[in-house]
Structure 1
Amino acid sequence: MYTPNTDLVIEPLHPLLQQNWQRIGDKLNEVEGIAPELLADLARVVVGSDFVTDQLSRSPVLLQDLLSGDDLLRSYDDDYYHTELNNRLAAVEDENTLHRVLRQFRNREQVRIIWRDLTRRADMRETTRDLSNMADACIDGALNWLYGSACERFGTPQGIGANGEREPQRLVVLGMGKLGAYELNLSSDIDLIFCFPENGQTDGEKKCLENQDFFIRLGKKLIQALDNMTVDGFVFRVDMRLRPFGSASPLAASFDAMELYYQEQGRDWERYAMIKARVVAGDKEAGAELMARLRPFVYRKYIDFSAFESLRDMKEMINREVRRKGREQNVKLGSGGIREVEFIAQAFQLIRGGRDSRLQQRELCNILPVLPDSVGMPEEAVDDLMRAYEFLRNAEHAIQAVADRQTQELPMDTTEQLRLAFSMGFEDWDSFYSRLEMHRADVRRHFADVVAPAEQDEEQEDDHSAEWLELWDGTLEDEQALSYLSEAGFDDADAAYKQLVDLRQSRTVVMLQQIGLERLRAVLPALLEQVSHTDNASETLARVLKLVSAVLRRSAYLVLLAENPGALRQLVRLCSASAWFSEQLAKQPILLDELIDQRTLYTPPDKEQIRNELRQQLLRIPEEDTEQLMEALRYFKNAVTLRVAASEITGALPLMKVSDYLTWTAEAILNVVLDIAWRNLSEKHGVPMQSQGVPCDPNFIIIGYGKVGGIELSYGSDLDLVFIHNADPNLFTDGDKQIANSVFFTRLGQRIIHILNTFTPSGQLYEVDMRLRPSGNSGLLVSSLKAFTDYQQKEAWTWEHQALVRARVVAGDPKLQQEFEAVRAEILSAERDRTELKKEVVEMRQKMRDHLGSKNTENTENPVFHLKQDRGGIVDIEFMTQYCVLANAHKYPSLTEFTDNIRILEGVETCGLMPAEEAQQLREAYIEFRSVGHSLTLQGRSNEISGDELLDSRELVAASWDRLLG
């Protein structure tokens, strides 16, 4: 005779324990050998669940069955449910038996899951995964049995396969919501969508059906098998309302119809729902194809801040429903409940999931931990949400375990409240409710931080919004509009007014859908107000409206600005300072996301951070997806460049640091591009052999010349590159498709150039110039180190040795880098005839001046000065430093150590080759010229300035030139 241990249950629940124990007492006597620990568990379970008590009272065999397999004590493998249910279904011969077997299987497993949940032998995630796996098994098992039966009656549905031949079609069942995310609760409905690959007919001998008709009939049978209430209960309540067009549409749709619907009719809430969609039964392979086709609907390539707007609308709709039905004490829908935690995660999935594949997951518990790294959410907030979510889900399960009923309402009855508190591990209701309220308060706070409406910008008064919109709508007379713009601070009101009118009357605006117009009107007042406060308001407006025009058809970017007043302020500020900045954003609006966090906007990553950030971004992309890798590289380069430019514009970064950051970015990208190109080729052809039996690893380097070699990159600089390998050209790769080493390295070089040069939707990475390789454009694309050395020693012109002064390895094999540096030092340190050297340097400089310098520097009314090429400019300083190295390195080898002009000039001074004062003046002039050049680039102007600017520095450089090379 088994008796309950009342010490394990709080005293007010003793009557409930005795009552439920009596219901199963006689049946327990028929069960052999219940261990004491399981008797203790049983006391907790019968207090917590009338459903389990009812199932055990009906069938003593059930408890014996669970005990004999230790199923109450062990976790199941994911495939257990499928295997076990298929074994039971193997002998089923009719639908009534199918229904009975499914329900008995479900009831047995439901008892086990509730038992393990209430006794905490399973945690929340195991409970939800077990429930979801059981649902998958029931849906798939029932579908397979019913499909076979339907095919016997009507024939097998047919479609046209990839080879053009007829092939059988099967139903695809999508699980939505909690089922799709493996988050099913103890009494969930299951939300399903039925679809099939393509239209066609069955091949029945007596009666043929259209595929859609066949699958609709099959779907109805499946719903009956799962949903019908029989003497054994039900399996799962089935909800089909999430299918395209809802209850008014056919029960099953083809893949083409599904794709067309979501492309043309899909609404925001359906994107939200599709985040969790998963193929749970039927043709898994075809289902994967469908999910790939629907992914662009769910995850947009751009940063989509419109998700906040739609989620707010959905939340408000739920709030109204909660208030109307008095559900404030609902742990799912009430304030601070489960739904708000889900909204937080899914908001960021919708916003950034297209750019960050880590967010393209279904389970909330996998998404939340990613948010600190992906979107900058504080770790403490994620910890709060994870704890709250687990507590709320456990409470939900405890509520539903009582009667296997779909409810999330906190009980009002005192005994039921105590039962819930006890199941949750508390001694009384007040203790439980206090903890519940703490968690709900955390959720409310974080939900407000993420999804609450954007606060009104402090600098923008609501009073002005109406006036700005009147101006935009054209309701003001022209004179009134011009007067308003002038008073607001626009320096050229006529130009500003024309820009606004032109935009309003443009075809793009006229053809905008209503949602786009609403978003434009929502952001315009704040935008115009901010622009009016700039010193060059009319010019700034032109730049900002160029960006607005570029994003009108992707109006989620307008929502981004409306949602983030700080980002809007930064946009206006930076566009006011730089035409280049606005042009970059117009070309790639996704970069607007970089404006949101000022902490990162004005603090570009250092060299190591650049490498780490790039590596982290690329880890999210499959190695074989070269196209996506190329897009990611372009976004990364543009994002870092934007942050560098913002820092330079605001004075946070000096010129030399700007060039450092831009050069470090190029180096990081070149190393990654080399890895991608090497992997592509070696997977196809194997690895080239350095010598017999010794593979290359990779025995290949990329040498940067010019600005990248001199660590002096600017915005939009191209890359002067040379490729060198150090393998035996007569050997072959070791793959199945062998090619000669020389062919491999040539293709490697071509692949690198392709990745860098190709224009994608995000533009070009870098323009590559390979003319500095041995023999220029007529030479081999990739040289061996020996061939390079021979050429430099025997054939190279003086100007090529000048270029070598600024050459350094920027990517590739460290060992080969050392060998190249030794060759470079040897060539630069060779003793030269100074007279001949001077003559050749001066002649080359004159040729460049004639061909590249300004054409109107003298005898004109408006003379100009070309910063780089005219006399006294940047190239004069570069040629002087190169001459000093080539003329003196045989005596002073240290002159070959550095490739940048500033440190070379420092070396020239240290070696006593130039007076300290003169060297210092040249360095200052060089920095000044380059700083002006950067400023011109950011303003979208050429390298020409007025002829009366920088006169002192120009004369100083010209005088040094005359002393050294005149």
Structure 2
Amino acid sequence: MKDQQSLTDRIQCAPAVYDPDAAQRFRDECADALAELPGSANEFLNAVASASPYLRRLLVRRKSKLVEFLSSPPEDCLAAAIRNALTSANEGGAHTQMKALREAKADAALVIALADIGGVWDVMTATGALSRFADAAVQGALQGAINRSKLESTDGIVILAMGKHGAFELNYSSDIDLVVLFDPERMDADRFDAQKYAVSIARELVNQMQMQTADGYVFRTDLRLRPDPGATAPAVSVRSAEAYYESYGQNWERMAFIKARPCAGDVALGEEFLKTLRPFIWRKYFDYATIEDVHAVKRQMHSAKGGRDVAFEGHDVKLGRGGIREIEFYAQTQQLILGGKNPALRHRATLDALKALAEVNAIDEESRDIMTASYLYLRHVEHRLQMINDEQTHRLPASQNDIARLSVFSGADDSASFRHKMMDTLHAVEKCYDALFEDDEDPQKRLGPMVFTGVDAHPATLDTLEGLGFKRAADVSAAIRRWHTGAMRATKTERARTLLTKLVPPLLESLAKASDPDEAFFAFEGFLERLPAGVQIFSLFLNNLDVFDALIRIMTISPYLGREFSKRVNLIERLLDNRWSAPPPLPSTYAEACAATVANAPDYEAALNAARRWVGEQKFQVTAQLGVGLIAPSDASAHFTKIADAAINSLLAAAMEEMKLQHGNIDGAFVVIGLGRLGAGEMTATSDIDLMFVYDAQNEAMSDGKRSLGVVEYFSRFVRRAVTALSAATEEGALYEVDMQLRPSGKAGPAAVRFSAFHNYYMDEAWTWEVMSLVKARVIGPAGALADKVEAEINSILARVRDVETLGIDIANMRMRLDAAKPGMSAWDVKNVVGGLTDIAFICQYLTLRYAHEVGRPPRPVRLSLKWFEEKEKLTKSDAMILIDAHSMFEAVLQASRAATGGVFAPERAGEALRSRMASVCGEEEIEKAETVLKDHQDQVAQLFTKKIGERNARV
């Protein structure tokens, strides 16, 4: 049988050699493996390696398996990769499973690519293979997360595959869209625990799939197709999802669920859920309004992604005119209109849908054949585009060399014939699509009457706004009329007002998609009011209309980021190419990236600005993802800390270079110590940085520059310069607020502390609270002998034997003073409130200073410290669990609150989207219940503080 023949025996075609040098490098790197393969296989691999840098690297990486892959049926190799993905859950810990999944993905990616390129499989067989492997990877990742949780099985948790994944149509470098649902009754857990487990499992699953490691990634994973993603946790209960779609579901969500299917976990639960959604997806009556709704989305795509006209260089074969998405929409809108009465049209796959539509005469056979052939060709080209560098790109190249590469790789004779076929295909799709969708750009015909001139509201305009979902239509109309009067700085000029007039219709379309259009509108108005000018940003929006969806989504969850957008317009660039929602870089990469950014600046002032731009962009990505629930609070704190570390080390190096230029070198060394949240690795989006500078040099040392300085003045000036570099407001704004009050003698002490003085101070003079601050202390840099010496000294200070009674009284008194100076504002002020994070940190500091001489220094992060003390039997298991659970929730609230508001979350001043988000952070659906849970934790922590340390009103 054909499917039992080897891949080599079934090769039907091969691209011509594009880059002979790349082919030669491949032959040199894989000589041993190629020697065992027949000449036809050698020629085929040679051609593949010459056209695709990514596949060449993958071939070299998997060279030990090349003989097996080429000598076996590709079906068998794919089946083995699928088995390895499924059994990855048995590999032990999370890191071990990550490696196993990525190795399985590399095998699958290689065999699928070779079978696709060689014509062994047609393009849809390849997409089905990719989709089946994605199913296995998701199931394996889910099972691993289950194994590492407190659950015994996947009962009650289902993963829905959406989009191309759901239809078995994944492209070669596709991300996967998933929806994670859970049913507490099937999970054999109460509602609170069920949601907590499901959310934790969803986050670990995403982490397993998309974290970039040395072995690569499996699939970029997107959970944003879940109900109301800006306000819900990563996992949503089935009951909540059903209620959402019944009350708030939109046409685009109906379209999304055409392709949905359960791909992992409790498949029976998923099938039952989709069955309940059938009346939502497949309405009984013709819904021609759907066509206009979908076409409005397409108009935004044309402007932002692929362009309104069919082009060649740089054209987007997915989202552009005549592209893949138009074929999909062509089929899906007809399915939505007719599928309610005709179940035969309810196909997930695009080609099956086109065939079914022709069979019932909804489209003619000629249109079916054109769209089918075009779809297959565009998917073929899309795969070749993505195989070149494993990029999720859909754009045709702009340079002639890259066009030539793609032409060869796609099997064309030359660039001219490739261009000709591509243009014919795009025009054919465009013609069919336009026959179905009337392209009318008049906003009044698209949305209805909209007049925002005059003194009074236009009645028909209010009807249009109400039809879009605005409950405060009169207020919205009044605000837009106010914009047009030039009442804001952003609309002072005639040009700005002209642009704004064009901007309002697509803006209102985007706002109408929000869970609360009114809240979203006034969040956007606040953004406009803070803008210093409007022409640039309005022009940017008009050329990238789909940025509105992301911008509004973020603003409604995070007023803090709304303010940041107004101050740092460059952050919107992150929205333009959708980088903000992509997995952030590994924290370990920040140091090198920031150092390179600062080092490449032409001068010192430019270096300061470059660092501020870099930090702003990195923090924005993490803050935005934290705000909408794409990243866990604990992961966010690691990112924020590593970003700060990178900025500190890079700017200190730049400041030292400036010192050397002016005053020369000096025979000495310095280190900077991070304290507080910086030291513990628990930074938030708005944390300041607590620093202490320590230097070591001989008393008589002098710098060797023309303006020579003694050692004390040299390091004092350096510290002032360094603090300015980190905190001063430049044209790019401020970077961090720097606090140095925790240094020896506080404000009265020298900015730079000599090591001997550091030693003596903590030996003889330091108060208990000053030693407490060293519990979280961490040398940030530079690495070297002094760094090691300071770390050892800190460990020695903490390990001194202390009087236990005095220690408890001192710490209780300090907590009392802090409470008097800065009392907690509410249960949501989880840092300062009695029984909050400060109490937990003080307990850890007390335990450290009491027991370090016996058991050593604990880890700096509080959550790890608590577990450590439990293991050392200095905390009972029950006490440790109380503190760990409370700390986990408080940290999540603190991180989410800082990301959303920049300060303490206040439910009474928050919109519904933000209230829902903060409730979900606490594992609840209602904000009142979330506050009750917080208070319960705080009461338990306060009792443990008294039990471990003493009453807060203690006196010496």
- TM-score when scaled to structure 1? 0.51
Asked whether the equivalents of residues 490 and 534 of structure 2 are also in contact (C-alpha less than 8 Å), the reply is: no
Deviation at 1:461, TM superposition (A): 9.2
Change (3 A) 1:472 1:383: closer
SS in 1 for 2:883: helix
Is 1:531 equivalent to 2:511 in the alignment?
yes
Aligned-partner Cα distance in 2 for 1:608–1:663: 11
Q: 1:643 aligns with which of 588, 597, 621?
A: 621
The answer for the alignment partner of 2:851 in structure 1 is: 888
SS in 1 for 2:672: strand
1:274-313 equivalences in 2 (<5 Å): none
Deviation at 1:808, TM superposition (A): 0.3
Q: 1:956 aligns with which of 934, 937, 940?
A: 940
Residues 116-143 of structure 1: CA distance to partner in whole angstroms, max 9, x if unpaired?
A: xxxxxxxxxxxxxxxxxxxxxxxxxxxx
1:192-207 equivalences in 2 (<5 Å): none
SS in 2 for 1:783: strand
* Stretch moving more, 647-656 or 602-611: 602-611
Aligned-partner Cα distance in 1 for 2:424–2:544: 19
1:32-47 equivalences in 2 (<5 Å): none
Aligned-partner Cα distance in 1 for 2:766–2:425: 66
Change (3 A) 1:646 1:442: farther
Q: 1:904 aligns with which of 862, 865, 885?
A: 865
Aligned-partner Cα distance in 1 for 2:823–2:905: 9
Letter of the aligned partner of 2:793 in structure 1?
Answer: V
Q: 1:681 aligns with which of 659, 676, 679?
A: 659
The answer for the alignment partner of 2:610 in structure 1 is: 632
The answer for the alignment partner of 1:604 in structure 2 is: 584
Letter of the aligned partner of 2:791 in structure 1?
Answer: E
SS in 1 for 2:781: strand
Letter of the aligned partner of 1:913 in structure 2?
Answer: K
Stretches of structure 2 lacking an aligned partner (at least 5 in a row): 1-301, 315-386, 407-411, 428-433, 908-930, 951-956
SS in 1 for 2:787: helix
Deviation at 1:551, TM superposition (A): 4.7
Asked whether the equivalents of residues 651 and 722 of structure 2 are also in contact (C-alpha less than 8 Å), the reply is: yes
Change (3 A) 1:941 1:752: closer
Aligned-partner Cα distance in 2 for 1:826–1:799: 17
SS in 1 for 2:697: coil
Asked whether the equivalents of residues 757 and 766 of structure 1 are also in contact (C-alpha less than 8 Å), the reply is: yes
The answer for the alignment partner of 1:386 in structure 2 is: 401
Asked whether the equivalents of residues 312 and 396 of structure 2 are also in contact (C-alpha less than 8 Å), the reply is: no
SS in 1 for 2:519: helix
Letter of the aligned partner of 2:652 in structure 1?
Answer: L
Letter of the aligned partner of 1:929 in structure 2?
Answer: F
Asked whether the equivalents of residues 675 and 778 of structure 2 are also in contact (C-alpha less than 8 Å), the reply is: yes
Aligned-partner Cα distance in 2 for 1:337–1:383: 5
Change (3 A) 1:435 1:482: closer
Aligned-partner Cα distance in 1 for 2:419–2:470: 49
1:805-816 equivalences in 2 (<5 Å): 805-816=775-786
SS in 2 for 1:726: strand
Cα RMSD after superposing both structures: 4.2
Letter of the aligned partner of 2:712 in structure 1?
Answer: S
Change (3 A) 1:510 1:907: closer
Letter of the aligned partner of 2:734 in structure 1?
Answer: Q
Change (3 A) 1:868 1:378: closer
1:255-654 equivalences in 2 (<5 Å): 384-386=399-401, 435=414, 437-438=416-417, 467=447, 470-473=450-453, 477-508=457-488, 512-551=492-531, 553-622=533-602, 625-654=603-632
SS in 2 for 1:891: helix
Asked whether the equivalents of residues 490 and 531 of structure 2 are also in contact (C-alpha less than 8 Å), the reply is: no
Deviation at 1:762, TM superposition (A): 2.1
Q: 1:804 aligns with which of 767, 774, 789?
A: 774
Deviation at 1:566, TM superposition (A): 3.5
SS in 1 for 2:800: coil
Aligned-partner Cα distance in 1 for 2:618–2:497: 32
* Stretch moving more, 666-675 or 943-952: 943-952
1:925-944 equivalences in 2 (<5 Å): 925-940=886-901, 942-943=903-904
Deviation at 1:631, TM superposition (A): 1.4
SS in 1 for 2:753: strand
The answer for the alignment partner of 2:637 in structure 1 is: 659
Aligned-partner Cα distance in 2 for 1:510–1:936: 29
Aligned-partner Cα distance in 1 for 2:808–2:508: 59
Which one scores higher on RCO, CA 8 angstroms, separation ≥ 6?
2
SS in 2 for 1:470: coil
Asked whether the equivalents of residues 491 and 536 of structure 1 are also in contact (C-alpha less than 8 Å), the reply is: no
Stretches of structure 1 lacking an aligned partner (at least 5 in a row): 1-307, 320-334, 339-371, 392-432, 449-454, 691-698, 856-862
Deviation at 1:811, TM superposition (A): 2.4
Aligned-partner Cα distance in 2 for 1:712–1:469: 52
Aligned-partner Cα distance in 1 for 2:517–2:684: 27
Aligned-partner Cα distance in 1 for 2:549–2:413: 42
Asked whether the equivalents of residues 511 and 520 of structure 2 are also in contact (C-alpha less than 8 Å), the reply is: yes
Asked whether the equivalents of residues 692 and 740 of structure 2 are also in contact (C-alpha less than 8 Å), the reply is: yes
The answer for the alignment partner of 1:394 in structure 2 is: none
Asked whether the equivalents of residues 830 and 836 of structure 2 are also in contact (C-alpha less than 8 Å), the reply is: yes
Change (3 A) 1:462 1:783: same
Deviation at 1:497, TM superposition (A): 3.2
Change (3 A) 1:734 1:477: closer
Deviation at 1:796, TM superposition (A): 0.5
Deviation at 1:555, TM superposition (A): 2.4
Change (3 A) 1:912 1:949: closer
Deviation at 1:633, TM superposition (A): 1.1
Asked whether the equivalents of residues 598 and 651 of structure 2 are also in contact (C-alpha less than 8 Å), the reply is: no
The answer for the alignment partner of 1:299 in structure 2 is: none
The answer for the alignment partner of 1:916 in structure 2 is: 877
The answer for the alignment partner of 2:693 in structure 1 is: 723
Asked whether the equivalents of residues 828 and 934 of structure 2 are also in contact (C-alpha less than 8 Å), the reply is: no
SS in 1 for 2:789: helix
Letter of the aligned partner of 1:957 in structure 2?
Answer: V
Aligned-partner Cα distance in 2 for 1:680–1:703: 21
Change (3 A) 1:491 1:634: farther
SS in 1 for 2:699: coil
Q: 1:829 aligns with which of 799, 804, 816?
A: 799
Letter of the aligned partner of 1:793 in structure 2?
Answer: M
Residues 939-962 of structure 1: CA distance to partner in whole angstroms, max 9, x if unpaired?
A: 427436688561211111112112
Residues 718-741 of structure 1: CA distance to partner in whole angstroms, max 9, x if unpaired?
A: 111000112223211122322112
Asked whether the equivalents of residues 858 and 869 of structure 2 are also in contact (C-alpha less than 8 Å), the reply is: no
Aligned-partner Cα distance in 2 for 1:879–1:468: 61
Deviation at 1:500, TM superposition (A): 2.1
Letter of the aligned partner of 1:930 in structure 2?
Answer: E
Change (3 A) 1:901 1:516: same
Deviation at 1:336, TM superposition (A): 7.1
Aligned-partner Cα distance in 2 for 1:819–1:614: 27
The answer for the alignment partner of 1:327 in structure 2 is: none
Aligned-partner Cα distance in 1 for 2:477–2:898: 28
Aligned-partner Cα distance in 1 for 2:482–2:835: 45
